[in-house]
Amino acid sequence: MSTVEIKDLHKSFGSLEVLKGIDFTVETGQVVCVIGPSGSGKSTLLRCVNLLEQPTSGRVVVEGIELTDPDVDIDAARRRLGMVFQQFNLFPHLTVVRNIMIAQERVLKRKRAEAERIARENLEKVGLLEKADAYPAQLSGGQQQRVAIARALAMNPTLMLFDEPTSALDPELVGDVLGVMRQLAEDGMTMLVVTHEMAFAREVADRVVFMDQGVIVEDGPPQQVIGDPQHERTREFLRRVL
Ligand code: ADP
Ligand code: MG
| Residue ranges of E strands in the chain | 2-13, 16-27, 31-35, 57-62, 65-66, 81-84, 159-163, 191-194, 207-212, 215-220
Please state the ipTM of this predicted complex.
0.98
192: which residues sit within 8 A by CB, 6+ positions away? 4, 26, 32, 34, 46, 49, 159, 160, 161, 162
- Whether the predicted pLDDT of 115 surpasses 80: yes
Ligand 1 centroid to residue 51 C-alpha, Å: 15
Quick one: which ligand is closest to 86's CA?
Answer: 2
Cα 193 from chain centre: 5
Task: Say whether pLDDT at 150 is over 90.
Answer: yes
CA 156 to ligand 2 center in whole angstroms = 25
The protein residue whose alpha carbon is closest to atom 5 in ligand 1 is: 41
Percent with pLDDT over 90 in the chain: 89
Sheet harboring 191-194: ordered strands across?
A: 81-84, 159-163, 191-194, 31-35, 207-212, 215-220
Contact 81, 67 (CB under 8 A): no
Q: Minimum mean pLDDT among 29-33, 42-46, 71-75, 83-87: which range?
A: 71-75
d(CA 145, CA 139): 10
Distance CA 82, CA 80 (A): 7
pTM of the model: 0.96
Sheet of strand 16-27, all strands in order from the earlier edge strand to the far edge: 16-27, 2-13, 57-62, 65-66
Is the predicted pLDDT of residue 1 greater than 80, yes or no?
A: no
Instruction: Give the mean pLDDT of 179-199.
Output: 97
- How far, in Å, from the CA of 8 to the mean position of ligand 2? 20
Residue-level pLDDT at 48: 94
Judge whether residue 63 has pLDDT over 90.
no
DSSP-derived 3-state class of residue 183? helix
What pLDDT was estimated at residue 76? 83
User: How far is 15 from 193, CA to CA, in rounded Å?
Assistant: 28
User: How many whole angstroms from 43 Cα to the centroid of ligand 2?
Assistant: 4
Query: What is the mean pLDDT of the segment spanning 123-127?
Result: 97
pLDDT at 92: 97
What pLDDT is recorded for position 80?
86
Ligand 1 pocket, Cβ-based, cut-off 6 angstroms: 13, 16, 18, 36, 38-44
If you take atom 1 of ligand 1, which residue's CA is the nearest one? 39
